[in-house]
Structure 1
Amino acid sequence: MWKWLAERPKGVIVAVHGAAEHHRRYRWLIEMWRCSGYHIIMGDLPGQGTSTRQRGHIDSFDEYIKEVNDWITEAGKYELPVFLLGHSMGGLIVIRSLQEKHHLLSGVILSSPCLGIVNKPNPALDLLSKGLNMITPSFRLNSKLSIDIATRNKSIRDEDENDSLYVTKVSVRWYRELVKAIEEAHTKIKDFPDVPVLLMQGGDDKIVEKMAVRSWFNRLDALEKSYKEWKGFYHEIFNEPDRDKVFNMAKHFADSHLPESEWSE
């Protein structure tokens, strides 16, 4: 994991990236949080980015949960309000992590969380993946995730075009574990803790099924929860041309859940 420290910290953001990507794609967001008075803790998930694990492969989704739990534990050492921010699969990891183990948190920010997939494999291919998962779980296929369907931001697209850390193939086991985690996020929704939640969703998301996201949010039993759909935005709302607006909403959410003395500064 890596840490970026604010000069006058008032809280800590634990950020969890999505499938195929890595922490270096969050340079802008990291700096925005740091300059706003928040320490940032983030790393590359197993099998992604600079991780030494087999690229695009996991044996169990629990590997992600364990990794993020370690980041949350590290954040707690600062004795400051802690917020979790998860994008896409990172949002799913945050949800599953909190369903399995409750942490002392001041809030959760979910960015287009992966609670349903737009382009699902056809039934025959889905059945085949179940068989391959038993026989050769590390067999890898094209993920069909591309930056062109993730954001409308041309500068981000151009930057990612030659990104050697971007994962283009994923294993059969990774896919089956993702599907299982999505199902559990829905079936175990009652296990999610009563913590303030801000869920922001791209209105024109071509990767995550936004109706599944909205369904999960509507069923979430939380005293304080907010849903914002960004009209016309693609999947990566923190990388869209109007990403400043997205960050400002996230920052306002975090600031408003700080101790009163910190929020009033």
Structure 2
Amino acid sequence: MTTGHSEVTKTSFQVSAEGGITLHARKWEPKQLEEDQKFLVVTHGACEHGGRYNDLLERAARQGWTAIAIDLRGHGQSTGNYVHVERFADYSQDLLSVLNYVEAPPESTVLIGCSMGGLVSIRTLQNHWKEHNCNPCKGLVLLSPLLGIKHPIEMWKKIVARGLSVTFPRTRFRSTIDLSLLSHDQELIESKRNDPRIRGAVTARWFWETRRAIEDAFRDVNCIQVPTLLLQSGADFVVDPLASKVWSNLINNCQTSEDSHQVHFRMLENWYHEILNEPQGPVVADAILKFGSNILDSNISDHSLSELPAAHQVAS
């Protein structure tokens, strides 16, 4: 790991968002800020929070980034009904509220979206492009983004959830995801089990708004207009790896896409869903940060994919 900055500072802040929501965010940055400040903004997955990305934030700060991770509404230390939205676009507004608060210039900003946070980042860029014909960032990194659901959901739950999303939208359904299938690091899995800010249920409205957002992400593929690195775990029991590959191919085959706007896709065979929390996660983190730096430096030809491990071998 490149450690250009030995001393970093960690702070937290709150941002007012639509609907009377107060968002919590944490920030890591070098004590000596460079003249050309660069921003890395991380959006977490469903039921978790930005505090689970502190290792990445610290690593980024030591490499010169101002690194920020937010808690979306209803997650972590932010206010709101937990894991519930009236519209999926509310999450995008949360992300934009934080970007505006820290005054992150688009030309100096890279977004990282993990799982549901990947879908949030995608929809944020797509809507922003449609509405303003410009981007809120210069580069995008997606880690096992929620572009298709792999975890089996009984048909009766889907039918019931659809009706309840209108009549009783805050009706909750408990997650049945096996936490041990999120990472091969069992110590990390135990820490997640014992994290009081990890939620274990979603609402009917959240479920259907998320399904619509996935459909919209495929419909608006031509609105992704920044260089994108998509890393997908091959042994993913949460999201559908094939969906990420199809989405990437749609963008790369889109006539309006230029070479610098294509998605650079890598399937990490045998990896579980939480890529950064796998044993070789730090290697991936450094590759991501190098990708981001190359994007900001307009060095589009070097995407650091050669530094990524091809697969994670499970210990017997």
Q: Same fold (TM over 0.5)?
A: yes
Per the alignment, residue 20 of structure 2 pairs with none
Counterpart residue number, 1:176: 208
- Report which structure shows greater RCO (CA 8 Å, sep ≥6): 1
Report the residue type matching 2:247 in the other structure.
W
Matching of residue 2 in structure 1 with residue 26 in structure 2: yes
Q: TM-score, normalised by structure 2?
A: 0.78
Which of residues 5, 23, 41 in structure 2 aligns to 1:14?
A: 41
**Comparing 149-158 and 14-23, the one that deviates more:** 149-158
Helix, strand or coil for the counterpart of 2:296?
coil
Question: What 5-or-longer segments of structure 2 have no aligned partner?
Answer: 1-24, 130-134, 303-316
Q: Per the alignment, in what secondary structure is the counterpart of residue 70 of structure 1? A: helix
Distance 1:260 1:172 in 2: 43
Is contact 1:2-1:43 (8 Å) kept?
yes
Q: What is residue 105 of structure 1 aligned with on the other side? A: 137
Partner of 1:157: 189
Task: Kindly state the Cα deviation for residue 200 of structure 1 after the two structures are TM-superposed.
Answer: 0.5
Percent of paired sites with the same residue = 30
Give 4+ residue runs of structure 1 displaced > 4 Å after superposition: 77-80
Contact 2:123-2:213 within 8 A present in 1 as well: yes
Moved more, 165-174 or 138-147: 138-147
How far apart are the structure 1 equivalents of 2:54 and 2:106? Answer: 25
Q: Over residues 12-35 of structure 1, what are the superposed CA-to-partner deviations in whole Å (9 max), with x where a residue is unaligned?
A: 101100001001111111111111
Contact kept in structure 2, 1:4 and 1:30, CA below 8 Å: yes
Tell me whether 156-165 or 233-242 shows the greater mean CA deviation.
156-165
Which residue type is aligned with residue 5 of structure 1? E
CA distance in 2, matches of 1:132, 1:260: 48
Q: 2:283 is matched by which residue type in structure 1?
A: K
CA-CA distance at 1:191 after TM superposition: 2.2
Shift of 1:106: 2.1
The answer as to whether partners of 1:15 and 1:86 remain within 8 angstroms in 2 is yes
- Residues 13 and 85 in structure 1, CA contact (< 8 A), matched pair in contact too: yes
Number of residues of Structure 1 aligned to a counterpart in Structure 2: 261
State whether structure 2 residue 255 is matched by structure 1 residue 219. no
Q: Residues of 2 paired with 1:244 and 1:211: CA distance? A: 25
| Number of the residue aligned with 2:108 | 81
Q: 3-state SS of the aligned residue for 1:257?
A: helix
Equivalent pair of 1:12/1:80 in contact (CA under 8 Å) = no
Equivalent residue runs for 1:57-72 within 5 Å: 57-72=84-99
Deviation at 1:71, TM superposition (A): 2.1
What displacement does 1:184 show? 0.7
Residues 17 and 88, structure 1, Cα contact 8 Å, conserved in 2: yes
Distance in 2 (CA, whole Å) between partners of 1:170 and 1:32 is: 31
Match of 1:250 in 2: 288
3-12 or 115-124: which moved more?
3-12
Counterpart residue type for residue 179 of structure 1:
R
Q: Which residue of 1 aligns with 2:167?
A: 135
1:24 and 2:51 correspond? yes
| Aligned-CA RMSD value | 2.0
After superposition, the C-alpha distances for 1:16-62 in whole angstroms (9 at most, x for unaligned) are 00001001111111111111111012210111111221112211111
- Matched residue, 1:47: 74
Q: Which of 195, 199, 204 matches 2:230?
A: 199
Distance of 1:260 and 1:238 partners within structure 2 = 25
- Provide, for residues 95-147 of structure 1, a one-character-per-residue CA deviation record: whole Å limited to 9, x for no partner: 00011003242210000000000024233321221111121110101022343
Query: Aligned partners of 2:140, 2:75: CA distance in 1, in Å?
Result: 23
Secondary structure, in 3 states, of the residue corresponding to 1:198? strand
Cα 1:145–1:46 shift into 2, 3 Å: farther
Q: Give, in whole Å, the separation in 2 of the partners of 1:146 and 1:24.
A: 21
5+ unaligned residues in a row in structure 1: which ranges? none
After TM superposition, give the deviation of residue 72 of structure 1 in Å: 2.4
